[in-house]
Amino acid sequence: MQKQDDERFPDYFGRSVRALSDYLGIGLQIAVSFALFVLLGYWADEQLGSSPFLLLLGVLLGMAGMSLVLWKVLRAANRKGRHPR
Amino acid sequence: MKRVKVIQIKGFFRVMALLAPLLLNAYLPVQASEEHAAPVAAVVAAHAEAAVDPALEPAHAEPAGHEDEKAGDVIMHHILNSHSFSFEPFGTIHLPTLPPVFGIDISITKHVVMLWIVSAILLVLFSFVGAAYRKITPKTAPSGVANTMEALVEFIRLDVAKSNIGHGYEAHLPYLLTVFMFILLCNILGLIPYGATATGNINVTLTLAVFTFFITQAASLKAHGLKGYLTHLTAGTHWSLWIIMIPIEVIGLFTKPFALTVRLFANMTAGHIVILSLIFISFILKSYVVAAAVSVPFSIFIYLLEIFVAFLQAFIFTMLSALFIGLATAHEGGEAEAAHH
């Protein structure tokens, strides 16, 4: 058992996956949440007949949500950068 | 050296003697196809004879003997779930159909049988390994199958569970080991001739991902308590933004297991489609040159790649499950760190 060589790849791989972990689901999360707000606005418009204002509101909320998600990730990344593991 | 060879040959014959009645399945009426002229027709006819429930696959509700089937249909038949196991030159085993429960068809299908086979193999194998471990003393080393399994188990324990979950990883180790071995065996049995890939069925992968989801949430609740769990959903934002943030965070909970589901399913399905497509190229072009130059070498290459992918996907599913559990249990500020170096 050469300990050095045996543990090198899984360690590297594990570290890279852990580093990636914050960004693994982020694309899907942003896309789905944006779609959710927009579709909610669309649906509310259909119910109330107030097209297109609620749809636009949904778009705005979705955009705000996307920025929030990105901001949250950035904040976490900054925190990690200050205390490197 | 020579003795080892003799033993190997003996063992091979023993295994073949066991498998021969299974492969020839003598208790089934053999459905011989009439066309021996064109190899395509033989393959296709056997497929057309595999009587499939029309509700499951409308493309296959064709009478037997209809020999002009498209390659795409054959590929889809190979990949999709069905009510029958077709052993091409020997015949077909029709699996029992059960009456629907609450409008849901719960008949035993090909993939269900594969899941049972995998579970049975794992049960037998690991009972054997466990017994071997009970027998050994601290002075003796395990050998044979037990030794092989020890390498895999130790790999999952140290490199996957311990390094991703960190403190208290022992509680999640049984789940991670089970899911790793189960997916690995499903993937490998899918590559064996006459086998079916259970993990190439999105229902199976979704179920596995749902297990991971529930275990992750339970671990998170346990680590943070209900209050901490709920504040996790607000992601530390100002209360005026909660109306936007909470839906996004709830969606975020579901996206990760969904990504797990699709990753495993797509990888297992895509490999099989690629292999079959490569083989069908030579049938479509009706040329031996293409078969010798393209189909056979390329499909063998992809096949070898698939063996690697079988291990890789099982590993990645387990790794990401461990990672999600680790992220859920990690306290703010204190990260679960890589423990061993």
Which residue of chain B has the CA closest to A27?
B255
Task: Over range B172-176, report the average pLDDT.
Answer: 88
With a cut of 80, say whether residue A12 has pLDDT above it. no
For residue B77, count other CB atoms closer than 10 A to its CB: 18
**Who contacts B327 (Cβ-Cβ below 8 Å, separation ≥6)?**
A21, B336
Q: Which chain A residues are closer than 8 Å to B163 by Cβ?
A: 10-11, 14
User: Would you state the structure tokens that stand for residue B315, as one six-digit string?
Assistant: 């590993």
Q: Is B196 part of a structural domain of the chain?
A: yes
- Categorize the per-residue pLDDT at B78 as very low, low, confident or very high, splitting at 50, 70 and 90: confident
pLDDT over 70, % of chain B: 75
Which among A7, A21, A65 is the nearest to B244, CB-wise?
A: A65
Tokens read off for B65: 């003997």
Q: What is the DSSP string of B75-143?
A: HHHHHS--SEEEETTTEEEEPPPPPPBTTB-----HHHHHHHHHHHHHHHHHHHHHHHHHH--TTSPP-
Cβ-based neighbours of B79, under 8 Å, separated by 6 or more: B197, B200, B269, B272, B273
Does some domain include residue B115?
no
**pLDDT for the residue numbered B69:** 67
Q: Is B54 within the bounds of a domain?
A: no
Owning domain of residue B250: 142-333
Contact criterion met (CB < 8 Å) for B259 and A85? no
User: When comparing pLDDT for A32 and B36, which is higher?
Assistant: A32
The pTM of the whole model exceeds 0.75: no
pLDDT in tens, B154-168: 888 877 777 777 777
pLDDT of B62: 43
CB contact under 8 A, B259 and A15: no
Span B201-207, mean pLDDT?
Answer: 89
What pLDDT is stored for residue B119 in this prediction?
Answer: 92
As a whole number of angstroms, the distance between CA B321 and CA B210 comes to: 11
Count CB atoms within 10 A of the CB of residue B12. Answer: 10
Cα angle: A40, vertex A44, A45; to 5 degrees:
115
Asked whether B219 and B172 are in contact (CB, 8 A), the reply is yes
Q: What is the pLDDT at residue B37? A: 41
Q: How many helices (H) and strands (E) does chain B have?
A: 11, 2
% of chain B exceeding 90 in pLDDT: 9
B93 in a domain, yes or no? Answer: no
Record: contact A68-B245, CB cut-off 8 A = yes
* Six-digit token string for A56: 């636009």
Distance, CA of A29 to CA of A66 (rounded, Å): 9
**B95 against B131, higher pLDDT:** B131
Number of domains in chain B: 1
Query: What 3-state DSSP class applies to B74?
Result: helix
Which residue of B255, B259, B319 is in closest CB contact with A17?
Answer: B319
Residue B103 has pLDDT above 80, yes or no: no
**How many Å apart are CA A41 and CA B118, to the nearest integer?**
47
CB pairs under 8 A between A and B: 73
**How confident is the model over B258-314, as pLDDT tens digits?**
888 888 888 888 888 888 888 888 888 877 887 888 888 888 999 899 999 898 889
Residue in this structure with the two tokens 């190439």, named with its chain if needed: B200
Residue B110 carries which side chain, given as an amino acid letter? K
Name the region of A48 (left: φ>0; alpha: ψ -120 to 50; beta: rest).
alpha
In a domain, B222, yes or no: yes
User: Is B224 domain-assigned?
Assistant: yes
Place of tokens 């209360």: B239
Gap from A49 CA to chain B (nearest CA, Å): 23
Burial code (b: 16+ CB inside 10 Å, e: under 16) for B213-241 equals bebbeebbeebbeeeeeeebeebeeeeee
Res. B341: pLDDT tops 60: no
Residues B187 and B248: their CA atoms lie apart, in Å, by 34
Q: Chain A, 16-75: which have a CB under 8 Å from a chain B CB?
A: 17-18, 21, 24-25, 28-29, 32-33, 36-37, 61, 64-65, 68-69, 72
Cα separation of the two ends of chain A? 28
List the structure tokens of B292: 């010798």
Angle at B180 between CA B178 and CA B181, to 5 degrees: 70
Backbone angles phi, psi at B222, to 5 degrees: -65, -40
Q: Is A8 on the interface with B (CB under 8 A)?
A: no
pLDDT single digits (tens) B6-21: 666 777 766 666 565 5
- Of residues A50 and B257, which shows the higher confidence score? B257
Q: Which residues of A touch B160 (CB under 8 A)?
A: 14
With an 8 Å Cβ cutoff, are A28 and B255 in contact? yes
Domain ranges of chain A: 2-81
Tell me what pLDDT residue B123 has.
92
Give the pLDDT confidence score for residue B94 in this predicted structure. Answer: 73
